[in-house]
């Protein structure tokens, strides 16, 4: 038989050995799913890593002013797995002002120092890497005297007086000023005074009581006046001034006040600011002034206690008045007689007086020379 027939037969026979053909595809023979091989772990390469912290002043001054030279310190630590180098950049308000490179082994740290100059007053942001700090620069101190007060406007020679000087610091830093207190242009006390920034401070400076009279206290650009009294009590009938002697007129003064003395004053109607006659009469006493020259006079009087013989005024409970009517002294002579004016003035605080009076201020009362 020819070979090709054999080959065909074999093919048929092989096909015939299988199952009879059907319309369904043959059921596949199950096979096991392939399994993945276990992954081999890969190791990350060693590398440095740096931690920056603790940015602060190397020394802490009480106050920082513009222009101060400062030194800051910061700690750099290698927290990585290999040695390496780190460039530290020091910045002020976002501007780099200093650089340093440092090489560190694993776990090693080092402190770096940066110098800087304090700028304008205010807060400034500092940084090195992730580490930050705030630099507060204060306004320079500006201390000046802003107020001056005295414990009294008047004091007897045996009394005490002091000056209260208030100082203000308009800057932000502590400031010290030497306060000089003068009396009548002469320095009587100097004292250094320290005032905190933005604060007020008042100091008391006792003053030695000077001679009787008016005096001026100064501190800084401020000045206050006071008077030193010479307290006396003149006897009844003491003439403080008399520029109208030589006439015939008479005037009797009756002080009806139980506690206060009185000074009666005459002034010319043409010049009422100056006394031409002033006489002192104690409480519940009377006195007659004689030989008053002719003329028309305005009559003033002042009640009070503790007479100051220097300023010619009462220093305790003073009251000042003026009669509305003037006193007119006249002298007439004939061949047989002489007629002259006689006045009686009763002074007491009670109603029903026949001569009306007006209260006057110190500035309107005649000055007693």
Strand 245-255 and strand 342-347: the pairing is parallel
247 token code pair: 């006439």
Q: If you average pLDDT over every residue of the chain, what do you get?
A: 90
Identify the CA nearest to 309 among candidates 265, 277, 263: 263
Residue 318 clears pLDDT 50, i.e. is over it: yes
Neighbour-count burial of 59, counting CB atoms closer than 10 A to its CB (0-12 exposed, 13-18 middle, 19+ buried): exposed
pTM: 0.68
Task: Decide which of 8 and 219 is more confident.
Answer: 219
The per-residue pLDDT for range 35-67, each reduced to its tens digit, is 555 655 667 789 999 999 999 999 988 899 999
Neighbour-count burial of 29, counting CB atoms closer than 10 A to its CB (0-12 exposed, 13-18 middle, 19+ buried): exposed
Interior CA angle at 161 toward 364 and 182, to 5°?
A: 90
Q: How far apart are CA 257 and CA 36, in angstroms?
A: 130
- Domains, the chain: 50-137 (2.60.40.10), 143-229 (2.60.40.10), 232-364 (no CATH)
Q: How far apart are CA 311 and CA 213, in angstroms?
A: 7
Q: How far apart are CA 59 and CA 14, in angstroms?
A: 102
Residue 142 is predicted with a pLDDT of: 96
The per-residue pLDDT for range 124-141, each reduced to its tens digit, is 999 999 999 999 999 999
Strand blocks (E) in 27-119: 50-57, 69-78, 84-92, 95-104, 109-117
Q: How far apart are CA 53 and CA 73, in angstroms?
A: 10
Q: How far apart are CA 328 and CA 299, in angstroms?
A: 10
CB 147 within 8 A of CB 222: yes
The per-residue pLDDT for range 188-233, each reduced to its tens digit, is 999 999 999 999 999 999 999 999 999 999 999 999 999 999 999 9
Residue 164 clears pLDDT 90, i.e. is over it: yes
Mean pLDDT of the region 339-366: 86
Neighbour-count burial of 356, counting CB atoms closer than 10 A to its CB (0-12 exposed, 13-18 middle, 19+ buried): exposed
Residue 14 is predicted with a pLDDT of: 38
């Amino acid at each position: 038989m020819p070979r090709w027939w054999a080959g065909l037969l074999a093919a048929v026979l092989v096909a015939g050995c299988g199952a009879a053909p059907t319309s369904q595809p043959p059921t596949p023979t199950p096979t096991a799913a392939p399994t993945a091989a276990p992954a081999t772990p890969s190791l990350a390469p060693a590398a440095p890593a740096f931690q920056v912290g603790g940015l602060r002043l190397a020394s802490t001054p009480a106050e920082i002013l513009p222009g101060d030279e400062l030194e800051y310190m910061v700690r750099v630590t290698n927290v990585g797995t290999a040695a390496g180098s780190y460039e530290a950049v020091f910045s002020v308000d976002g501007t780099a002002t200093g650089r340093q490179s440092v090489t560190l082994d694993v776990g090693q740290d080092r402190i770096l120092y940066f110098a800087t100059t304090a700028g304008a007053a205010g807060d400034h942001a500092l940084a090195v890497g992730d580490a930050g700090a705030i630099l507060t620069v204060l306004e320079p101190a500006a201390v000046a005297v802003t107020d001056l007060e005295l414990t009294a406007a008047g004091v007897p020679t045996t009394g005490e007086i002091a000056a209260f000087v208030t100082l203000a610091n308009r800057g932000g830093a502590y400031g010290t000023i030497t306060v000089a207190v003068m009396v009548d242009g002469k320095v009587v006390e100097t004292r250094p005074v320290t005032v905190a920034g933005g604060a007020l401070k008042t100091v008391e400076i006792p003053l030695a009581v000077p001679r009787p009279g008016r005096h001026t206290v100064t501190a800084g650009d401020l000045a206050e006046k006071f008077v030193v009294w010479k307290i006396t009590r003149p006897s009844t009938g003491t003439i403080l001034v008399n520029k109208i002697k030589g006439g015939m007129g008479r005037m009797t003064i009756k002080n009806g006040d139980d506690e206060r003395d009185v000074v009666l004053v005459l002034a010319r109607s043409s010049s009422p600011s100056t006394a031409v006659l002033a006489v002192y009469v104690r409480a519940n006493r009377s006195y007659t002034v004689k030989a008053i020259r002719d003329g028309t006079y305005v009559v003033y009087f002042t009640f009070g206690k503790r007479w100051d013989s220097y300023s010619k005024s009462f220093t305790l409970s003073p009251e000042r008045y003026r009669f509305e009517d003037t006193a007119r002294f006249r002298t007439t002579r004939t061949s047989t007689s002489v007629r002259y004016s006689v006045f009686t003035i009763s002074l007491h605080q009670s109603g029903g007086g026949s001569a009306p009076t007006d209260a006057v201020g110190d500035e309107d009362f005649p000055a007693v020379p």
